[in-house]
Amino acid sequence: MNREAASLGEAVEELLSEVAVETGTEPAPLFDSLRGRGAVVTGGSSGIGRATAIGLATGGVNIAVNYLDTGAESRDAAAELGEVLGQHGVEVLIRAGDVRDPVQTAEFFAEAHEHLGRLHILVNNAGVGADHALWRMSDEEWESVIDTNLSGAFYCIRAIAPYFRAQEFGKIVNISSVHGLSSEFGLANYCSSKAGLIGLTRSAALELGPSNVNVNAVAPGYIRTTRLTDRVPAEIMDRARERSALGRLGDPQDVVSVILFLCSELARHITGVVIPVDGGYLT
């Protein structure tokens, strides 16, 4: 080895040793970095939202959940979720609310902050669908989906941002969809709302990054939830299963695992990204 190569090798070794000193601490285990945090999960009484709230509570996270009150069934589901969360020994707040209402949303976050002490995590899960060919889509069907899936997420981020900025820490995970990345017939409102949510994710990541806030999105494919099985014809689910590289539909826990990762310090240097959880549907 000549003198120049030896000198370069020594320089590289010195640089690596400096990096090791600066970043030598090993990442904390997943749940250790979550325990004791305070989280808000919107639309949390069923499906992916419910599974997310339970997953966070299992990790020792105090939970505030809101849900849309559509009648006795939704209230019963929320009450049952509260009992399940309470079994994990964490603080729990369950409130009916509509994320489309900015005033109501701000009041919910203020109550959540007071009840839980501090807020560290937001999972924007609240979402609806109203499928029709666009030339048959009513104003109400367009507006309700856009207002819930996109505007609602904006209102929630705006409401929690002051708390995150003040403490210079926070994690936001927006639940988008593969249909925010690839359109399908009859989903103009839904695809637009979920694509917009991806844009909101990237904008929020840019604006909140200086305050040490990570903002990311997951894009689930066809996930086996009650809403999916109630709304989507069996033949469409069969086609989705066939299109998936893994040859199956997903379960809520498949999405929750990614959400928990993004909320943990294992993902401390990840922001502004969209992670498909679709079994290779988009492959």
Catalytic residues: 190
Can you give the chain as a three-state secondary structure string?
A: CCHHHHHHHHHHHHHHHHHHHHCCCCCCCCHHHCCCCEEEEECCCCHHHHHHHHHHHHCCCEEEEEECCCCHHHHHHHHHHHHHHHCCCCCEEEEECCCCCHHHHHHHHHHHHHHHCCCCEEEECCCCCCCECHHHCCHHHHHHHHHHHHHHHHHHHHHHHHHHHHHCCEEEEEECCHHHCCCCCCEHHHHHHHHHHHHHHHHHHHHHHHHCEEEEEEEECCECCHHHHHHCCHHHHHHHHHHCCCCCCECHHHHHHHHHHHHCHHHCCCCCCEEEECCCCCC
